C-alpha cells in the first residue's frame, strides 16, 4: 500500500514538473514570436521610407540596429479614428503591445530626414483574405514615398506579386492627394498606358491575372487616404 502511494506521488510530481516546464517554454516562445512580429513590422516601415536595411559592408541590420533606429529617430502619434486628433497618454497603447486598438490609428513620423516623413499602416481585402502593409508619404504630404505589404494570403505567382519590388516601386512618386484632397487612385487592369497614353500621376499597373487583388490594393490606398486626410490637412495648414 505504501509503495502504491509513493508511486502515485512520484507520478504527480513528474506531471507537475512537466507542466511547469511546458508552460514556461510556451510563454517564452510566445514572447519571442511577438518580438519577431514587431521587428518585421519595423523593418517594413523602414523599407517603405526607403531606409537601407543593410550596413555599408553589405551585412543586414540586426534586431538591435533596427530597434535603435526606431528609438532614436521614429515618433509614433496615436489618433482618434473618428476625429483624427492625437490622443492623450491614457489612450495610447504600451509600446510593447501588439496590434492596433479599436478606435485608434497610428502615424509613424521619421525624424532623421531633413524634413519629417510620415508612414501609416494600410489594410484591405484581397482575393483570399486581408492584406496588411505600410504607406509612406513624402514631406509634402501629397505623394507616395514608398509602399510595402508584409502579410497576405494571395496566390503565389499572381496576387502575391504585391510583395515584389517591381509592383511596389511603381507607387513611388505617385500622387495620393491633390490640393489637400484624396485623389481617385487607380490600379489599372491592362496597364496605365492602355488607359492613360500620356501616363498618369495617380495610377499604376495592375497585376496580370490578379484582378481581385489589384482592386483590393486600389481600394486599400483610397481608404487610407481618406482615413488620414483630416490629420494631414492640419499638418499642411501649419506649413
- Residue 60 has a pLDDT of 87
Neighbours of 162 (CB within 10 A): 24
Which cell numbers hold the place of 43? 523593418
Provide the residue-wise pLDDT of the chain in tens; the chain has 239 residues. Answer: 555 666 666 666 666 666 665 666 655 566 777 778 888 899 999 999 999 888 878 888 889 999 999 999 999 999 999 999 999 988 998 876 677 889 999 999 999 878 899 999 999 999 999 999 999 999 899 999 999 999 999 999 999 999 999 999 999 999 999 999 999 999 999 999 999 999 999 999 999 999 999 999 999 999 999 999 999 999 998 86
Predicted confidence at residue 28, as pLDDT, reads 54
pLDDT in tens, 165-218: 999 999 999 999 999 999 999 999 999 999 999 999 999 999 999 999 999 999
Predicted TM-score of the model (pTM):
0.85
Contact between residue 225 and residue 182 where contact means Cβ atoms under 8 Å apart: yes
Alpha-carbon distance of 142 to 145, in angstroms, equals 9
Query: Quick one: pLDDT at residue 11?
Result: 61
Instruction: Give CA 193 to chain center in angstroms.
Output: 30
Residue of 38, 141, 179 whose CA lies nearest to 95: 38
Q: Give 59's Cβ-side CA count (13 Å radius).
A: 5
DSSP code of residue 206: P
Q: What is the largest CA-CA distance in the chain?
A: 94
CA distance linking residue 200 with residue 173, whole number of Å: 11
Amino acid at each position: 500500500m505504501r509503495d502504491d502511494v509513493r508511486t502515485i506521488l512520484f507520478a504527480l510530481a513528474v506531471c507537475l514538473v512537466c507542466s511547469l516546464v511546458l508552460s514556461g517554454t510556451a510563454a517564452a516562445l510566445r514572447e519571442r514570436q511577438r518580438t519577431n512580429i514587431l521587428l518585421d513590422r519595423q523593418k517594413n516601415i523602414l523599407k517603405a521610407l526607403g531606409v537601407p536595411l543593410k550596413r555599408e559592408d553589405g551585412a543586414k541590420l540586426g534586431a538591435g540596429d533596427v530597434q535603435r533606429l526606431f528609438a532614436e529617430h521614429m515618433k509614433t502619434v496615436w489618433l482618434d479614428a473618428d476625429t483624427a486628433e492625437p490622443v492623450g497618454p491614457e489612450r495610447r497603447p504600451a509600446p510593447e503591445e501588439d496590434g492596433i486598438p479599436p478606435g485608434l490609428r497610428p502615424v509613424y513620423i521619421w525624424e532623421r530626414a531633413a524634413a519629417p516623413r510620415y508612414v501609416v499602416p494600410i489594410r484591405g481585402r484581397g482575393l483570399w483574405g486581408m492584406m496588411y502593409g505600410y504607406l509612406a508619404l513624402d514631406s509634402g504630404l501629397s505623394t507616395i514615398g514608398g509602399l510595402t505589404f508584409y502579410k497576405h494570403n494571395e496566390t503565389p505567382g499572381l496576387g502575391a506579386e504585391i510583395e515584389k519590388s517591381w509592383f511596389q516601386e511603381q507607387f513611388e512618386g505617385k500622387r495620393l492627394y491633390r490640393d489637400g484632397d484624396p485623389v481617385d487612385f487607380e490600379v489599372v487592369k491592362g496597364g496605365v498606358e492602355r488607359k492613360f497614353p500620356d501616363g498618369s500621376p495617380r495610377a499604376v499597373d495592375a497585376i496580370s491575372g490578379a484582378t481581385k487583388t489589384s482592386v483590393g490594393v486600389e481600394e486599400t490606398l483610397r481608404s487610407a487616404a481618406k482615413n488620414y486626410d483630416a490629420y494631414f490637412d492640419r499638418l499642411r495648414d501649419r506649413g
